[in-house]
Amino acid sequence: MTHTVKWNVGLHLFEEAGTTKARVELDTATGRFTGHGDAHRNPADPDVPEIGDELAAGRALDDLGRQLMDVARRDVEAVAASGRDARPGDGWPSPDRM
pLDDT of residue 23: 98
Cα separation of 50 and 25, whole Å?
20
Q: Supply φ then ψ for residue 50, to 5 degrees.
A: -60, -35
Residue range 66-90: mean pLDDT, rounded:
82
- Tell me the pLDDT tens digit for each residue of 32-72: 999 999 999 988 999 899 999 999 999 999 999 999 999 99
Q: Supply φ then ψ for residue 77, to 5 degrees.
A: -65, -40
Domain formed by 8-82, architecture: 2-Layer Sandwich (3.30)
Q: Could you tell me the sign of the dihedral formed by the alpha carbons of 20, 26, 27, 32, in that order?
A: negative
The whole-model pTM stands at 0.80
Residue 4, pLDDT > 70, answer yes
pLDDT of residue 17: 83
pLDDT of residue 5: 93
